[in-house]
Every structure is written in C-alpha cells, then in structure tokens.
Amino acid sequence: MNLNKNSFSISRLMGFDAEASELQEIKTELVRKSMHFLIALSPSMASLNRPLTAAILMVGTLFYAVMETLRLSGIEVPLVSSLTSMASRPRDRERFVLGPVTLGLGALLALLLYPSPAASIGIYALAFGDGFASLIGKTFGKHRPDFMLGKSIEGSLACFGAVFVTAYGVSRSFKVAFIAAITATLVEALPLRDYDNLALPISVGFVVQMFIL
C-alpha cells in the first residue's frame, strides 16, 4: 500500500515538475518574442529617418553584444543581464545568447537591402510571423509531423496568418500578402534556430521586391 502511495506521489511530483517546466518555457518565450514585437517599430521609425533608424539598430546590436560578452566574463550588467537571463533558453544558459544580435541585424539588413515596402514587409515577417509562430507553437502546438523537424502545424499557421495580415496592410495586395506569407512560413519552418532572424526578413524582402512589387 505504501509503495503504491509513494509511486502516486512521485508521479504527481513529476507531473508538477513537467507543468512548471512548460510554464517557464512559455514565460521565457514571451520575453523573447516581446523583443521581436518591438523590432516592428523599425519601419515606422525608418519612414521618419531611415539613416538614424539604421544607426540605432547598429548601435543597439553592438551595445547588446558588448553587454553579453561582459556577462559571460562574470560581470553582471544591471537590467541587461537580467533580461538576457530571462530570455535565454536552456541551450543558451552558459553561452552567448545570439538571438538579439541576429534580430537587430535582420532588421538592419532589410532596411539596407530593400526599399520601404519590401523592407517593411520583411521586418513585419520577422516581428510577427516568427513571434506568433513561436508563441502559438509553444502554447498550443500539438501536431508536429516528422517532416516539420519539431515545428508545429499550429505555429506555422500562426506565422502564415500574421505575415499575410501585415503584408496586406502594407501592400494592399492579396497576391503580395499570400506569397510573402508562404515564403515566411517555409523559412520559419526550417531548423535555423536564431538564424531565422536573418533568413526571414532577407528572404521575404527579396521575394516581395524581386518578384512582386
């Protein structure tokens, strides 16, 4: 009888641990994706002053890289180190957290490579397509077929929907919105980890600029 009780208690504890771990993972993803959503301010800022916006992205990315290097050296930087720790995934705990660097570079490259409509659509794909794909995938993703390499169908649908809406808002074209959304969904589904922050705005901006607009 005691053995059964002990087994039940262990099972409950394991269940609580798994639930707590899942909640922590969702919390971490919320912090990470809030940074993605903030990068969506770049097109509006660029419409007012494109060179200044590019300079802010460069300086911000460099500043973060320096602060993260200091953190890995054992020098805790107030606020920056705390945010980095909150946003870091388990695989990044003792490593340089690369996501904010590729995020800033992705938006910067979109601004430098493409004119306003294509750059804006590419950056919105990065901000909202990747952002909602991760949040929905982590929270509601139940269907993960082998060919998607760990990504969920729910997350991919969220990516498609977010990019379609934002691309249509910029272009007022269903064709532009559809092709931008398809491109973003395919790229986001690839196992690129933090490098999807570079691939998404560059690929979506390229497709929009070269084949549509």
* Structure token digits, residue 158: 């969220």
How confident is the model at residue 140, as a pLDDT? 81
Phi-psi region of 79 (alpha: psi -120 to 50; beta: other; left: phi over 0): left
At 139, is the pLDDT very low, low, confident or very high (cuts 50, 70, 90)? confident
Provide the H-helix boundaries in 88-152.
Answer: 99-113, 116-124, 130-140
For the residues 122-138, what does the mean pLDDT come to?
A: 90
The predicted structure's pLDDT at residue 8: 45
Q: Within a domain: residue 78?
A: no
Of 113, 117, 137, whose CA–CA distance to 188 is shortest?
A: 137
pLDDT at 166 over 80: yes
Please compute the mean of the pLDDT values over residues 57-84 and round it to a whole number: 81
Count of residues for the chain? 213
Q: Say which residue, 187 or 84, is predicted with more confidence.
A: 187
Structural domains in the chain (count): 1
171: number of CA atoms within 13 Å, CB side?
28
Split at pLDDT 50, 70, 90, the class of 26 is low
204 sits in which H/E element: helix 196-207
pLDDT at 93 over 60: yes
Q: Is residue 157, in this structure, part of any structural domain at all?
A: yes
Tell me whether residue 112 is in a domain.
yes
Calpha distance 156→159 (Å, rounded): 5
Average pLDDT in the 165-190 region?
94
- Structural domain includes residue 31: yes
**Domain contains 68:** no
Question: What is the domain range of residue 135?
Answer: 2-41+103-212
Contact 152, 143 (CB under 8 A): yes
* Token pair belonging to 28: 């971490």
Report d(CA 99, CA 64) in Å as an integer: 11
Average per-residue pLDDT in the chain? 82
Distance CA 97, CA 85 (A): 9
Residues with Cβ within 8 Å of 208's Cβ and at least 6 positions away in sequence, in order, are 114, 117, 118, 121, 122, 167, 171, 176, 179, 180
Residue 66 is assigned to a structural domain of this protein: no
Residue 133 lies in a domain: yes
| pLDDT tier for residue 13 given thresholds of 50, 70 and 90 | very low
And the tokens for 104? 């800033």
- Residue 84: inside a domain: no
Average the pLDDT over each of 18-22, 40-44, 72-76, 201-205 and give the range with the smallest value: 18-22
Task: Dig out the tokens for 213 from the structure.
Answer: 């607009």
First-to-last CA distance in the chain?
Answer: 72
Residue 161 parent element (H or E): helix 153-171
Look up residue 40 and give its DSSP letter.
T
